Amino acid sequence: MTVEHKRWYDLEPTVSLAVSLLRNSRPETRSECADLIIDYAQEFGVNIPNDIFSNFNYILKRWYDEDKHLSEALEYIKNSPEELQREIAFNIIEFLEKSETKIK
């Protein structure tokens, strides 16, 4: 029996956890984390399509689509090789854990 995954990030449990934690974090934290994701992915040469936010391609149907910066960050993860996706996910989890510790 196979499990169908409707979301790209559900294919890898660590990435799924990181995205879930990111979704439930504060907007300011999400924005800082988006910067971290983009910088890290770019360091490893990951690119995203230039036309990703064109009127025809950009449809607001996912939870992160309302924030273009966050949407861009998640596109970087999506376009990364699997191993790099896991690395980025671990970085997200670590970042969010430190952010939560600062708040308390």
pLDDT for the residue numbered 103: 63
**Per-residue pLDDT for 6 more than 90?**
no
- Categorize the per-residue pLDDT at 102 as very low, low, confident or very high, splitting at 50, 70 and 90: confident
pLDDT for the residue numbered 54: 60
Cα 83 to Cα 65: distance, rounded to the nearest angstrom:
25
- Categorize the per-residue pLDDT at 62 as very low, low, confident or very high, splitting at 50, 70 and 90: confident
In a domain, 3, yes or no: no
In a domain, 26, yes or no: no
Share of residues in the chain with pLDDT > 70 (%) = 84
In a domain, 17, yes or no: no
Question: What pLDDT digit, counting tens, does each position of 23-57 carry?
Answer: 999 999 999 999 999 999 999 999 998 766 665 45
Contacts 24+ apart (CB under 8 A), 8-16: 8/78, 9/74, 9/77, 9/78, 12/82, 12/85, 12/86, 12/89, 14/86, 14/89, 14/90, 14/93, 15/77, 15/85, 15/86, 15/88, 15/89
- Domain holding 72, by residue range, is 31-103
pLDDT for the residue numbered 4: 63
- Centre a 10 Å sphere on the Cβ of residue 10 and count the other Cβ atoms it contains: 14
In a domain, 9, yes or no: no
